[in-house]
Amino acid sequence: MGNDFSSRAHDALNNPQLRRNFRRAMDGLMSKRAVQFADRDDWAALRARGAAIKARALARLPDLLEEFEQKARANGIIVHWAETTADANSIVLGILTDHGAKRVIKGKSMVSEEMHLNAHLEAHGITAVESDLGEYIIQLAGEAPSHIVMPCIHKNKGEIARLFTDNIAGQPYTEDVDALTAAARKVLRREFAQADAGLSGVNFLVAETGSLVLIENEGNGRLSTTLPPLHIAVTGIEKLVEKLDDVAPLLALLPRSATGQPITTYVNMITSPRKAGEKDGPRQVHLVLLDNGRSRVYADLQLRDTLRCIRCGACMNHCPVYARVGGHTYGSVYPGPIGKILTPQLAGLDCAGDLPHASTLCNACVEVCPVQIPIADILVRLRTEAAQPSQAPGVKGAGSNASMVENAVWKGWQAMNASPAVYAAATRSLAVIGNLIPAAAPLLRQWTSVRSKPKFAGKTLHQLARDKGYDNE
Amino acid sequence: MSDARTAILARLRAAPKATVPDLPEWTGPVFADRLERFRIMLEAVHGEVHVIAADQWRPHLRLILSSKDVGRVMAPPELAVDWPDVVAYDRPAEALKDQLVDGIDAAITTACGAIAETGTVVLRPDADQPRLMSLLPPIHVVLLKLSDMADNMAGLMAAQDWAGTMPTNLLLISGPSKTADIEQTLAYGVHGPKELIVLVLS
């Protein structure tokens, strides 16, 4: 694997197995989603509502965070705040250490991936086992998710069958999906029963009631948040919604956009730890609210729209780039279009400045986004920020791609177009010497590596027009 | 980490203010035949729906359990389920863990509501019907009164004042546990019940 997007993309494009796995999966997901939103008027009304709910919640974010915290505390949930992923990791480790917890069972959480929590816990002698089937498979393979909703979408059943035979004692080789699923159920049941703590993400935080809303199909999220004596949830500060009522339209958008399901099998609303007299559920519930650059994204009114995201993955399912190169090519936790705008803002344009360029700006992601994030506009804005930073606070790492040569070229372009005489002189001389410039010349080289160099006509457009007798002087 | 709290909130408050947009009109769908919609949606995700007269559910349940070779059933005593081997969830989970994880064939619970649009039953687990009953045994049977069924989620939330009465855990269940993580092929019972059977009491 190369260490920048274009070299990784090159490797991925030349991997026929990966191309087939993604093509098949993306085609399936796109057609399932299309069936769900067949009525264009319903879709338009619903997504307008969804976008407004998230925009309203963001507009009032600091107030809602305080309201949520107050309600959640009153309900008995312990709320923590983390500036960075390192802080969040320390908080989680601290809670686990206080409880003497050695084994943690995990429900699916992209924020825990963002924190690289598993590695942090391993380094401190705590075992974290992923229990979502897809996450469990990639944990066996020692890989990262390649899709935010379907983490092992890049693997086919043959690859998974081999992983199970190699890693689960007594497991015969089988490509039967029911048998593979049953094998994972058996192993993970034991893990659930033995776990000292459960760890999960959150889909929505409801300020009005102080509730955590989690959605899933497998039941592993419910097990992780019910069976162990301790539950720790980690989430970004942008997951707030104002009212419980807001959850209904968002739930009508999220699973349909993600997997084409009318609703997920389970919607799990958690409002407190086990109360006196109740017989199950964790005795303590902790929630870690992570910033990790989100408040900086929030500081810019255009870029703030990035934080509306409800992590459905529809943008990647419909992205012609993602469908061909897969999630690992992005080299970041969040792949696809949303990753291309979120990662450079969280990590900095100096670290992930190539991502906003990994797009054709075809707008497919914008058309399917259930909360109307203007992804293409933000991509263009980030490209601009990388070359010409705007005023403070600006994007992290802005200006990292600024180039004196590029700036000089644009200055020249500006001067040429501002003066008819210079313009005429410049185009006339290009007509003469343009074809003598080699395709491999500096500045041209990268562009011509995948395109033919255009041929300059012997006469400029102005000359040709004059020859034909047009005269606009 | 109250320093982090102060700093994060201060940065958010210092950010430019956006106008708070109005919420555009949106209402969930309604159905001429709620029960039919509920049945279609739940059966589409591998759930079973039986519509039974309210005073006939015990013999009907007995038939269902017999047909599925069920041995031990877990049910709250007040339901008076008619089955030879019924146990109650009468102790904290810690004392019942082994049995819950691997010793119960089916659990019977009640639902407090249902959503026709998505084929969803709504549970409010409590001391008599704890959370794990609808999760650990391989078969989950739900008793639902037809009169508790709403057209859509927003309607049910409003009718039952969820926001004012949130329990420790409120659950929406739409079918048995499933996964499509291996090549988008559906498999049931990956972690939770393999079968969800809803008895609609009319």
Q: Which domains does chain B have, with CATH numbers?
A: 29-201 (3.40.50.10420)
Section B27-54 average pLDDT? 97
Q: Reduce the DSSP state of residue A231 to 3 states and report it.
A: strand
Question: Comparing C-alpha atoms, which of A312, A323, A427 is closest to residue A371?
Answer: A312
Residue with tokens 């291996």: B182
pLDDT digits (tens, 9 = 90+) for B53-107: 999 999 999 999 999 999 999 999 999 999 999 999 999 999 999 999 999 999 9
Q: Which of A280, A283, A391 to mutate to test the interface with B (most CBs of B within 10 A)?
A: A280
Provide, as residue numbers in chain B, all residues whose Cβ is less than 8 Å from the Cβ of A263. Answer: 118, 120, 172, 174
CA dist., res. B202 & res. B189, Å (int): 29
Specify whether the CB–CB gap between A340 and A283 falls below 8 A: no
CA dist., res. B39 & res. B118, Å (int): 10
What residues form DSSP beta bridges with A235?
Answer: A289
- Strands, sheet with A127-130, edge to edge from the N-terminal-most edge strand: A77-82, A284-290, A230-236, A197-200, A103-106, A127-130
Question: Comparing C-alpha atoms, which of B15, B75, B59, B188 is closest to residue A299?
Answer: B15
pLDDT for res A393:
67
Q: Reduce the DSSP state of residue A195 to 3 states and report it.
A: coil
pLDDT digits (tens, 9 = 90+) for B154-165: 999 999 999 999
What residues form DSSP beta bridges with B149?
Answer: B114
Q: What DSSP state is assigned to residue A245?
A: G
CA distance A165 to chain B (A): 15
Sign of CA dihedral A346, A349, A354, A356: positive
Sign of CA dihedral A435, A441, A446, A450: positive
Inform me whether the C-beta atom of residue A30 falls under 8 Å from chain B C-beta atoms. Answer: no
* Pairwise CB contact (< 8 Å): A272 & B182: no
pLDDT digits (tens, 9 = 90+) for A19-52: 999 999 999 999 999 999 999 999 999 999 999 9
pLDDT digits (tens, 9 = 90+) for A131-160: 999 999 999 999 999 898 889 989 999 999
Q: What is the overall mean pLDDT for chain B?
A: 96
Q: Which domains does chain A have, with CATH numbers?
A: 1-36+301-402 (1.10.1060), 61-292 (3.40.50.10420), 407-467 (no CATH)
Residue with tokens 């690859």: A159
pLDDT for res B86:
97
Q: Are strands A211-216 and A266-270 parallel, antiparallel or unpaired?
A: antiparallel
* Pairwise CB contact (< 8 Å): B166 & A132: no
- Helices A177-194 and A157-167 meet at what angle, rounded to 10? 40
Interface of A with B in 201-230 (CB under 8 A): 208-209, 211, 217-220, 222-223, 226-227, 229
Q: What DSSP state is assigned to residue B184?
A: T
Instruction: For residue A267, give the nearest of B28, B131, B172 by CB distance.
Output: B172
Provide, as residue numbers in chain A, all residues whose Cβ is less than 8 Å from the Cβ of B16. Answer: 299, 301
Question: Comparing C-alpha atoms, which of A229, A228, A279 is closest to residue B90?
Answer: A279
pLDDT for res A406:
83
pLDDT for res B16:
96
| Other CB atoms within 10 A of residue A431 CB | 16
What are the CA-CA distances from residue B72 to residues A256, A268, B60, B75 (Å)?
37, 27, 17, 10
In sequence order, the 6+-apart residues with CB closer than 8 A to the CB of A446 are: none
Global ipTM: 0.97
* Pairwise CB contact (< 8 Å): B182 & A251: no
Give the pair of three-digit tokens for residue B177: 């546990």
pLDDT for res A400:
87
Question: Comparing C-alpha atoms, which of B128, B75, B127 is closest to residue A277?
Answer: B127
Inform me whether the C-beta atom of residue A248 falls under 8 Å from chain B C-beta atoms. Answer: yes
What residues form DSSP beta bridges with B145?
Answer: B201
pLDDT means over runs of 10, chain A (473 residues): 83 94 94 97 97 98 98 98 98 98 96 96 97 94 90 92 94 95 94 96 98 97 97 98 98 97 98 97 98 97 97 97 96 95 95 93 98 98 90 82 86 92 91 89 85 89 89 69
pLDDT for res A389:
87
Provide, as residue numbers in chain B, all residues whose Cβ is less than 8 Å from the Cβ of A262. Answer: 41, 117-119, 174
Burial of A136 (0-12, 13-18, 19+ CB in 10 A): buried
Main-chain phi, psi angles of A367, to 5 degrees: -65, -30
